[in-house]
A and B are shown apart, each in its own frame.
Chain A
Amino acid sequence: MAKTVTLERRRDLRWVLLLPITLFLAVFYAVPLLRMLELSLFDPDFTLKNYIAPLTSPVYARILWNTVWLGIVVTSGCLLLGYPVAFLLATSAARTRHFLMIAVVLPYFTSILVRSYAWLVILGRHGLVNEALSALKMTSQPLKIIYNTPGVVISMIHILLPVMIFALYSVMQGVDWRLGNISSSLGATRTHTFFRVYLPLSLPGIGAGCVLVFIFSVGFYVTPALVGGLQDTILPMLIATQINELLNWGLGSALAIILLVFTLVLFLALNRVFRLDQIWSVNHAAAAAATRSPPGGGLVFRMVGTAFSALLRGAEAIVLMIGSGASHFGRIVHIPRRTPRPHSLEGQSNTAFYVCNGLILFFLLAPIVLIVPVSFTSSLYLQFPPQGFSLRWYQELWDSPVWLNATYLSVRVALTTMTLAVVLGTLAGVAFSRTTFRGIGYVYAFILTPLIVPVIVIAVALYALFSQIGLIGTFWALVLGHLIGACPLVTVLVTAALRGFDLKLEQAALSLGASPLRAFLQITLPITAPAIVVAAFFAFMYSFDEVVIASFLGSINAETLPKKMWEGVRLEIKPHLAAISSLLVGFTALVLVFIELAQRRQRSVIHQEGGSV
């Protein structure tokens, strides 16, 4: 009898838990990407014309250059503004940090559409800036600062700044800031201490943040399309035009492939410089497995493997950092604050430093807050200051079946996506944290790739597949599309939470007579539940805000809220968008508060772990 038990125990079947998520991503993510590659290469016979045209024509070269240039400018801007904030976060007391974190997290979770719209309101012809300038008699006619490059740059910096701050902070929080005190005790001036101690120590964070922001900005579609002018066309917009307006599938697919390859190559190159794979080591085991070359694999294979796992680890680190930032969940997703802060930093308070930070945080928060008063205007147009006070725009939304239906659809899609992603991601998390087999690192890497593949590429690939099987414009098309991006978010967070979970607790339950399944359900799951809630929140928000996939896969009959807003912003900028934006901001803030409260309760329970050691 004992022998049969042996076999049962030795044959670890938990890899089966990876099947659902892997199969899903293989069918609805890998296959469409391959289909897209095929579309770009066959017409109907094999041809390279779709690649030769864009890679040789000066028009396309101009667009490619635009894309890179925008990336460089946005990245520099984010670094400049993000560094002081991250520094402040890393060196301030827990309570202050908590408060500051909210100021960074709220904008991050606010819909990109809302934030882009806010900048239209601020920078528009009759926007805040122009009205202020003319009231001060500084300009005779409105400045043109929207639908052009400055507008795009400003709003993209605003949107990507939180990512930069999280990346910088993820490195800075591990720095022992007391080294600064030691430096000054050795007689160094403050400037000297900064350049010789703080800056070198935070350099990995700078590299990491720049790479991520750059990668995200070259794949950005929504904001440049809304806020930019014709001369600001970048690669993602060109792809959308080819597919949506010109129905040029071959060229559109080829451009999407070019964007994908461009992003990956860029990352490999940047990784050579910044050695990101050494900065982030969140999931040692999986990452190590991913970089381990199979027998006979050459140097090239190993290099690509390293860079690739670095790329994913970077994305993973960001998800975890935001997860813990969004919720101060250090204990649950296991990003403990590793070092004490310097004692005398308050003593060296520097007015300029704090004023700078105040302005940057104002820049982050103001556009979001500004939307609210605008939404109560009684005027037909967006104006500053808002004319009169009325609830007419809210009334209009409430009375409009179109908006209500869009909201209803969005909520349904987001809830379904969230549920499926939590199920798939949690199953995968259990497998990743509790079992191992040859090649598990590759599976992990594969599941994470949607985090860094530009969303427009996924949208185009799915569009091609779904239009063939007649799924366009259906509820399930939207859910499946969103699930691709939601799965890695949940997988990363749940895997980390389960890896951080004290296995001794599970063993204790086993020794007390509980079956493995019972131990998991009664002990492990309740204790890691907060992390799963955060993961669910990520998945929900991702789907609820997502506009690119929604507009490709949606139709007149299946319009999500973001798609409706997207069209609203493009066609007629009326104050009802401000009303809906205000509601969305309020909703995000409410959810964040709810999570915060739920966790506070949980923290008091979990506190034992830290308290007793």
Chain B
Amino acid sequence: MTAGFLSLRNVVKAYNGSRVVDDVSMDIGRSEFVTLLGGSGSGKTTTLMMIAGFTLPEAGSIYLDGQDITFLPPSQRNVGVVFQNYSLFPHMSVFENVAYPLRVRRMRSIEITERVRAALDLVQLTGYDERLPSQLSGGQQQRVAFARAVVFEPRLLLMDEPLGALDKKLRDHLQLEILRFQKKLKVAVVYVTHDQNEALTMSDRIAIVHRGRLEQVGTPRELYHRPKTRFVADFVGEASFVEGVVCEVNSSSATLQVAEGFIVTFLPSTSVTPGNVISLMVRPEVVRPANDLPNAENRVTGVVQDIVYTGEYTKYKLLLPGGQMLLMKQASNHGTIEFNVGDAVPIAWSVKDGRHV
């Protein structure tokens, strides 16, 4: 009946008639780290809340380890949750916060002490037992929240934008920490975020959520290199889109006429026939000055319209013949040629780097 450790089957949630979560089905493995990635209002948090049991679906079922948990009260699910603002109990010490799920389960106090100590050791907060949450930094509070959510050995760990309130440096650090904890505990994680870098860094698989539906589910590499829809291509990483009319299609390659005398070669997907108007996705980092890619088939001259310098790289917005725009990203290596606004730059990209979406 169920394929994964956690299975969502045609789950639907509607508020006032509009479907916030629309027929979502997915399977998650026993110690897999899966991220729900989407913009605000996409339905990713609602999905998470249904897995946690705080919201009930209108239709569909949720199975955990073979058990139907769709309508099970949250307190009986044995699922840990980490919230965005940590939601530590402000009137309890760090120790009491972490001990809470164990006390609820009526464990013996010796065992509670042992387990809490072990959990605090894991998140490197040994010795912080008696502090109140208000006496901790944001990062430390996050670690306590994590310890509290795993100390009772939940079957599944849910995290709702847990790093959203932290600054970038700390966020980058804690991403790796959380991964380390997760690998060590071998617990399945469903992680919600709107930050694509976070999703790419942490996940075994990512599910792109858009308007309550799953746009695409796949590994970070699949999503980045083989997006199925324009939305996914746009949402994960940066992309330019070149639109044109398909000219020839054969088994190994196809051509696209973008403008008069400007023809691009690409690897066709099944659904392309001559005469179709389609878009090709081109990632900015695959576009190079023509001299760097002597063997690339797609060659054209673009005029620099705009330059964004970010330190590690420089991004050029180029005007192509026919009026469309293309982004080119150049790492700030020693000796990289810099261009100026108005320069006509011969550029190139290889056939395999243009993807029909």
Give A residues with C-beta under 8 Å from B.
2-3, 5-6, 9-10, 502, 504-505, 507-516, 518-519, 523, 526-527, 604-609, 611-613
Contact = CB atoms under 8 A, between A and B. Distances in A.
B37 interface: no
A10 B138 CA distance: 36
A514 B87 contact: no
Contacts of A519: 75
A512 B72 contact: no
Contacts of A510: 53-54, 73-75
A512 B104 contact: yes
24 contacts: A9-B73, A507-B52, A507-B74, A510-B53, A510-B54, A511-B75, A511-B79, A511-B81, A512-B101, A513-B76, A513-B104, A513-B105, A514-B75, A514-B100, A518-B104, A527-B90, A604-B134, A605-B134, A606-B134, A607-B90, A608-B133, A608-B134, A608-B141, A613-B85
Nearest to A514: B104
A74 to B, nearest CB: 44
B80 interface: yes
Contacts of A606: 90-91, 134
Contacts of A504: 83, 85, 87
B193 interface: no
A5 B71 contact: yes
Given A9-B56, A518-B104, A507 B71 contact: no
A9 B56 CA distance: 9
A2 B81 contact: no
Nearest to A607: B134
B249 to A, nearest CB: 52
Given A508-B83, A514-B104, A9 B91 contact: no
Contacts of A608: 88, 90, 132-134, 141
Contacts of A6: 56, 71
Contacts of A518: 104
A2 B70 contact: yes
B68 interface: yes
Interface of B: 52-54, 56, 68-81, 83, 85-91, 100-101, 104-105, 132-134, 138, 141, 148-149, 152, 158, 165
Given A10-B56, A613-B165, A513 B85 contact: no
Contact of A527 (B72, B78, B83, B91): B91
Given A504-B87, A606-B90, A511 B70 contact: no
Nearest to A612: B138
Nearest to A512: B101
A465 to B, nearest CB: 44
Contacts of B165: 612-613
A611 B52 contact: no
A510 B81 CA distance: 10
B134 A511 contact: no
Contacts of A607: 90, 134
Report, nearest first, the 4 A-B pairs whose CB atoms are least far apart: A512-B101, A608-B134, A511-B81, A6-B71
Contacts of A10: 56
Nearest to A506: B87
Given A510-B53, A513-B101, A612-B141, 5 more contacts: A511-B53, A511-B149, A527-B91, A605-B90, A607-B134
Nearest to B76: A513
Contacts of A505: 87, 89
Given A513-B101, A612-B86, A508 B134 contact: no
Nearest to A7: B71
A608 B104 CA distance: 24
B66 to A, nearest CB: 13
A10 B70 CA distance: 13
A433 to B, nearest CB: 16
A529 to B, nearest CB: 9
